[in-house]
A and B are shown apart, each in its own frame.
Chain A
Amino acid sequence: MRKHISLRLIVTLMLLALLAAGCGSGNNNNEQAQETAGSSSGASASAEQPDKDVTLTFWHHYSTASAEEKTLKEVLIPKFEADHPNIHVNAVSFPWDQLHQKLQIGASAGELPDVARLDIIWVPELQVNDMLIALDDKFDDFEEVSKELLAGPLSTAVVGEHTYALPLNTNTKVLFWNEKMLKEVGLNQPPATMDEFFAALPKLKEKFPQSWGFGEPALRGWNVLPWLWSNGGDVLSPDNTTAQGYLNGAASVEIATKLQQAFSQGLIGGFKPGDTPVTEGHAKDVYSMMAEGPWAYAQFSDQFKDFKPMAGSFPEGKGGSVQVLGGEDIGILSKEHPEESWEFVKFMVSEAAEVEMGKVGQIPVNLKAMENPDIQAISYFAPFLEQLTTAKARPPVSAWPQIDDVLNDAFMRIFLQKADVQKTLDGAAKQIDDLLNS
């Protein structure tokens, strides 16, 4: 009997607790709303520093518990907050695809961060939805800040006539090769040309039947573009209006066919569900070669301390040795705190911050940072910097994520279903054109 009276009591108490919690989060919103009113009137009155405490939300996708995230949380943010006592930064980590999704629906959900770290391929689609502030337009000191940054990466933030973000870090992929395994088939150097590369694969398979000569973790643009480009092919025309004649052009078909043959002979792998993950596999002699970014070094030193990675340029084909340009930009989405957000953005691209992040594998875009002795001392950056000189960015079209899906499907079909290469790429080109014209 007693038990049930107290059960009722507990239920009531819980509901009251919930009410309190609910009101609590409601109150937070009210406080921020008041701050907004206060600081925006302050900003319009004068462009000086507001005197109220501002908390910025910064969304990023540095992996949880990674070295980059630790640097952000333990070195960079404290330094920024010390320099700007009235600004606090609340950094939130999301996995890459979740961050993309949250940004996409954030606008309609009414919850966007003030500042966000963006994959360079997201900039066009966010810009098209009016989510990013045009930095060159809004801030007077934009010129002097952007002058300090690498031109190539800076261009990834340009859409039309304005610049909607600043580059934060750049990267590309290089060829990692397993010294031990290659030596055993008589190769002291990694293959320098595509011909050497395709010649090496069967030799490796013969010597190591349980392994694959090359591992590619997926078949999206990020993975297939270097192959197409290095063979002189492409996905889209130079003006990015059509895929006809490019994705299904002779050069693209040629290299896709070569890769298809290699796959059917068991020489390459890594992208089917169930395959051993490529980076880990490379360290365990499962994949003799792979193309990966600087983060692989961090992973090796973290998880596979005994493995000595070797990296060199991506094999040169008819179109050269052309890898895909990656990287992240940092953009401002804030409607309420653009000034403080700009302070944070400037800080993140400053020499000091770039050097710190450089130490944990994030290749800097700040010119002074690249000259910094600490960065110069990082020997493994060398092949990346070399590769960066010829790296190409993915087409800055807002439909790129969907185009990526089309590429993925097409190449999956080519490899897993041994589909006719020309026909499949013809179909994909048509789908892409439909996307570009919609």
Chain B
Amino acid sequence: MIMNARLSRVSIGIALLIGAAISLYPLFFMLSTSLQPSAVILEYPPRLWPSAPTWDHYKEAWNSQQFGQSLLNSVFVTVASFFALFALSSMLAFAYSRFEFRGKRLSWLVLMACLTIPVMTLIIPQFVMTRDMGLYDSYWALILVYTASGIPFTTFLLKGFFDSISREIDESVYMDGGSSRLLFLRIVMPLSKPAFVPAIIFNALYIWEEFPWALTIINDPAKRTLPVALANFQGQYTTQWGVVFAGSLIALLPILFLFLFLQRYLIRGMTAGAVKG
């Protein structure tokens, strides 16, 4: 009986380790390729780890085509879009959670329908629209569209959480003469902090790595975001894989750090509201 338990625990442990290896292998592969001198990259049999690692690719990736600028652009666009969408989503979620109003059901259906649409199908009309607004090749075009794209999911996430906060609090606030604004800002939002974490992670991830829209609407290399900058490493006749992977790893770091920093709160934030829907 005890033997069985230990055996199963060991085998689970091994399975977990294999899973971890599979999860991490591609990143490890990227790392090792990015450190290999070009001549060795396409070698067969493939080498697991470079014998003469070099930082050249990293230097080249960083120094070319304003990579640092692209990094800043990505950070700026992600942060700006996130704040905007978070503000709008939290207010929207509060409305759905706490109020009754005309068109509530219908608008909710519309919002949830937005979740099911492949975002890419909107690129063309959004392109035409932003161009007509004079926003072609501007940060605005990125921020406005990213903000709108994030609202349905974030609203859904936050509403679930808000719903789990007892209505009795509402009543006491109103009876004490408080306003909805007070209820929202001082009570409901602070109580919902765990939900902020998945909101941050999923939105930040989506915006950070978004590619088709950024590619379509931005021309000026000074305004490019990281995914577009990375795609530009593919040359006309050849691709410098070492540089591509080095750049990719650099691009991965901020979002990875964000995640590692927040991950302990992630599970707490997914509890209750988020999933019951």
Q: Do chains A and B touch in the complex (CB under 8 A)?
A: yes
Contact surface of A with B, Cβ cutoff 8 Å: 1, 3-5, 8, 10-11, 14-15, 17-18, 21-22, 25-26, 29, 61, 63-66, 92-96, 98, 102, 108-111, 276-277, 279-281, 283-284, 286, 292-293, 295-296, 299, 302-306
Give the contacting residue for B238; candidates A21, A277, A306; CB below 8 A. A277
Per-residue A-contact encoding for B16-39, CB less than 8 Å = 1, 0 else: 000000000000000000000011
Q: For the complex, would chain A's binding face be called helix, strand, loop or mixed by DSSP majority?
A: helix
Is the Cβ of A284 less than 8 Å from the Cβ of B42? yes
Residues of B within 8 A of A102 (CB): 219
A92 and B220 contact, CB distance less than 8 A: yes
Contacts of B83 in A (CB 8 A): 10-11, 14
Check B189–A4 contact: CB distance below 8 A: yes
B14 interface residue per 8 A CB criterion: no
Other-chain contact of A64, B42, B86, B233 (Cβ < 8 Å)? B233
Hey, which bits of chain B sit against chain A, CB under 8 A?
Answer: 38-39, 41-44, 60, 63-65, 79-80, 83-84, 86-87, 127, 131, 134, 136-140, 143, 185-186, 189-190, 215, 219-221, 231-240, 243
If A22-B140, A96-B236, A276-B42 touch, whether A111 touches B219 (CB-CB below 8 Å) is: yes
Pairwise interchain contact B43-A284, C-beta atoms closer than 8 A = yes
Expressed in whole angstroms, the Cα–Cα distance for A179 and B1 within the complex equals: 69
- A15 x B237 contact (CB < 8 A): no
Could you tell me the distance between the alpha carbons of A108 and B79 in the complex, rounded to whole angstroms? 31
**A280-B219 in contact (CB<8A):** no
Q: Cα distance A7–B143 when bound, in Å?
A: 19
Taking CB atoms, residues of chain A closer than 8 Å to B185 are 4-5, 8
**A–B complex contacts, Cβ < 8 Å, 27 sampled:** A1-B186, A11-B84, A14-B80, A18-B140, A25-B138, A25-B140, A26-B134, A63-B236, A64-B235, A65-B233, A65-B240, A93-B221, A93-B232, A95-B231, A95-B235, A111-B136, A111-B137, A277-B238, A277-B239, A279-B237, A279-B238, A284-B43, A296-B237, A299-B237, A303-B38, A304-B39, A306-B39
User: Contact at B140–A65, with CB atoms within 8 Å?
Assistant: no
CB distance from B143 to the nearest CB of A (A): 6
A109 B136 Cβ-Cβ under 8 A: yes
Identify which of B79, B87, B235 contacts A63 (C-beta below 8 A). Answer: B235
Q: Are B84 and A15 in contact (CB under 8 A)?
A: yes
CA distance A17 to B83 in the complex (A): 12
Contact among B42, B86, B220 with A280 in the assembled complex (CB-CB below 8 Å): B42
B237, A21: Cβ atoms closer than 8 Å: no
Which of B65, B79, B137 makes the CB contact (< 8 A) with A93? B65
